[in-house]
Structure 1
């Protein structure tokens, strides 16, 4: 079984490269920056050198991960003048979650001028009536149906940005995102102190149901694998990413990048926005959240499947070649190690067995920090081959739906491009 021994060796080398040279994507200590500027110590270094010459927890800067010992953080400086902020919330049939999310935005402990704008994107579930009756201070905007070529969320955000007027910052946040009382102040403080034009946080998703516990941490893990946060946060690199659920954008930087019209048809709007802003010279930051949580439930595999598959093929730019490469790559790095163990044990091929086991453990080791961030037990990392198989099937299904004309479907709208 020489072929399996070769495949096992290739998979093992691939994982060594991923663990050491892919921007330390598996670490969970990229948090909201504080103290030294987030780019100061990494400029000019390779991804494998980012931790050289400092302590193992020096990069937390803005929230100690649950799995690490707290340490004394540098004091935060208050802005001399707290900038004006408009919080823009696009909402399409979100009456079920707004009581637990919008309420956290109207109660933000922000020392400067701030207003909340909810864009009612043609809801049919009483979203407008609910907001008007419970939060009279919230401005409600009706954007109308999006014109051809516009994604619904981006059309709604455009209407909210227009309503905001001349403010210093825009907080673009989804209707299912709940913010701690100091969330906005922390975002603005980071942007001002570090001269950032985009400060984005990957909201902590729900992990209540069994399927959420299996799929959700892997979703963030795979996102970080595609877009290593450290690479995205470094000026001058091609990697650019953001999390649409929580993105604080400097208004002047958004205008300099051409506004939301530049990405009007994007399905993965957060990554597209980060690319446009970074391409125009903006300084961006993406990290895991400590003060921002998603409250949207995904109680079963079907809802999670739709969440992933609606944008997976768009992530591959609707390319069959990229789809084929992704399927082969996922199979090689996630499935071959486990298959090598089975084949090695069945045939008595010790080298194949050892290579497969060592690679499986390395794979699980890179996943463990994300599981700990989500409060899940580390043995769950051993199920990564199974979880990766699910994601492979979701990606293939995303392509199938695209070619059936269903594209990226969301609440009655379907997008076939972007």
Structure 2
């Protein structure tokens, strides 16, 4: 066989293993169940006899553009127990705090407290400094659970009920949903579903949720956390320097003996627009190298892996057909077909045509370039910049996918 055919065969072998041996990452069936009444109108299984108190903590920095779409959805939660919202205005310059007060006066619903923590102390990222302040205020109210949610996340009225019911019914200390991200524009439709797919590939939800977990992760936009577990895990202090805070939070909870659940959301949506490639590029490049622990060796390995797994199949298929190399064409085409097939469920979750699946290698190539650009930015002293802040260190997690789950890890 030719060298190209060998590379294509290696890629095909990797894809067969990913299809069958990586926790069925490509399936999208890890979802929260709906909370229903019993057949006789009584309490159904999974519904608490007494709903625990919850405080929703929302860190927000310059979020006036999205807050009118997200905050009213939190205030309108149809939750049978005691609940309230604490919004932490993290040094906004666009009137975020005043807007939040006005929205609460206009829409009513759950009680709202707006607070400001001041500038972050040395060693703290902006979001975690805001969460520290908000969680301290929340704990003083004695809730059983804290809902940590980003300012660009909108919740359907039953979102909080479903989260609490799942945590109580299954004895979970952290229940997290990856919000359905916006896919209105052409670039969003091309890029966003792929990054959620990449995240699930690196952190298969089934392995996270298993009785004997083999992976640990969370989605920072929507995290229900048991208060006593947060105290036992020492969060957010234990992860105060993490740029990618969601995976770090999940690891701290797991290390403290907590049980974790992560799945895709049906009733939680991101309202933040990414109208162009530039916005998506900057969002990923901001933290991709941090997710690789600023390691040149991991960067080289990631680039090589992306080339072998995502780029070799279409190149081998095309070159093999053009040159008459049947082995390269067959192996490359088969690997490409398996790749596209595993991507179809994620496209359907995002209500997009499955015919987009063969474009996944192109999206992976964009991600490769974004990751390299992230390393270049870091070495030029511009890594981790977000909303006027520059953070050079800290963070762990998976390359790429975790970024959309933790957009505000300033």
Give the TM-score of the pair, scaled to structure 1. Answer: 0.89
- The answer on whether the counterparts of 1:33 and 1:190 sit within 8 Å (CA) in structure 2 is yes
Aligned to 2:261: 285
Query: What does 1:166-177 correspond to in 2, within 5 Å?
Result: 166-177=142-153
| C-alpha distance in structure 1 between counterparts of 2:383 and 2:32, whole Å | 34
- The answer on whether the counterparts of 1:34 and 1:190 sit within 8 Å (CA) in structure 2 is no
| C-alpha distance in structure 1 between counterparts of 2:57 and 2:26, whole Å | 31
Aligned to 2:71: 102
Aligned to 1:25: 25
> 3-state SS of the aligned residue for 1:408?
coil
Aligned to 1:150: 124
> 3-state SS of the aligned residue for 1:287?
strand
**Is 2:95 the partner of 1:126?**
yes
Aligned to 1:48: none
- The answer on whether the counterparts of 2:72 and 2:103 sit within 8 Å (CA) in structure 1 is no
Q: CA deviation at 1:134?
A: 2.5
> 3-state SS of the aligned residue for 1:145?
coil
Q: CA deviation at 1:235?
A: 4.6
Deviations 1:116-169 (A, max 9, x none): 000000100011111122314410111000011100000001100011122100
Aligned to 1:116: 85
| C-alpha distance in structure 2 between counterparts of 1:363 and 1:77, whole Å | 37
Aligned to 1:240: 216
- CA change 1:213–1:202 in 2 (3 A) is same
Aligned to 1:314: 290
> 3-state SS of the aligned residue for 1:150?
coil
| C-alpha distance in structure 2 between counterparts of 1:324 and 1:235, whole Å | 35
- The answer on whether the counterparts of 1:233 and 1:284 sit within 8 Å (CA) in structure 2 is yes
- The answer on whether the counterparts of 2:374 and 2:383 sit within 8 Å (CA) in structure 1 is yes
- The answer on whether the counterparts of 2:180 and 2:265 sit within 8 Å (CA) in structure 1 is yes
| C-alpha distance in structure 1 between counterparts of 2:319 and 2:269, whole Å | 43
Aligned to 1:214: 190
List alignment gaps of at least 5 residues for structure 2.
37-42, 106-110, 395-410
> 3-state SS of the aligned residue for 2:137?
helix
Aligned to 1:8: 8
| C-alpha distance in structure 2 between counterparts of 1:407 and 1:167, whole Å | 37
Q: CA deviation at 1:317?
A: 1.2
| C-alpha distance in structure 2 between counterparts of 1:186 and 1:394, whole Å | 36
Query: What does 1:64-79 correspond to in 2, within 5 Å?
Result: 75-79=44-48
- The answer on whether the counterparts of 2:73 and 2:156 sit within 8 Å (CA) in structure 1 is yes
- CA change 1:27–1:75 in 2 (3 A) is farther
| C-alpha distance in structure 1 between counterparts of 2:88 and 2:218, whole Å | 21
Alpha-carbon RMSD across the aligned residues, in angstroms, is: 1.5
- The answer on whether the counterparts of 2:46 and 2:166 sit within 8 Å (CA) in structure 1 is no
| C-alpha distance in structure 2 between counterparts of 1:225 and 1:397, whole Å | 22
Deviations 1:235-284 (A, max 9, x none): 54452100010000000011111121000010110110001101111000
The 4+ residue runs of structure 1 with deviation greater than 2 A are 74-77, 234-238
Aligned to 2:53: 84
| C-alpha distance in structure 1 between counterparts of 2:135 and 2:373, whole Å | 35
**Is 2:403 the partner of 1:403?**
no
| C-alpha distance in structure 1 between counterparts of 2:88 and 2:13, whole Å | 49
| C-alpha distance in structure 2 between counterparts of 1:77 and 1:250, whole Å | 17
- 1:201 is aligned, of 152, 155, 177, to 177
| C-alpha distance in structure 2 between counterparts of 1:350 and 1:95, whole Å | 57
State how many pairs are aligned: 381
Aligned to 2:204: 228
| C-alpha distance in structure 2 between counterparts of 1:188 and 1:77, whole Å | 10
| C-alpha distance in structure 2 between counterparts of 1:31 and 1:75, whole Å | 18
Aligned to 1:252: 228
> 3-state SS of the aligned residue for 1:327?
helix
- The answer on whether the counterparts of 1:34 and 1:76 sit within 8 Å (CA) in structure 2 is no
- The answer on whether the counterparts of 2:59 and 2:88 sit within 8 Å (CA) in structure 1 is yes
Q: CA deviation at 1:33?
A: 5.0
- The answer on whether the counterparts of 2:46 and 2:168 sit within 8 Å (CA) in structure 1 is no
- 1:351 is aligned, of 299, 322, 327, to 327
| C-alpha distance in structure 1 between counterparts of 2:307 and 2:88, whole Å | 42
| C-alpha distance in structure 2 between counterparts of 1:122 and 1:348, whole Å | 62
List alignment gaps of at least 5 residues for structure 1.
36-61, 63-73
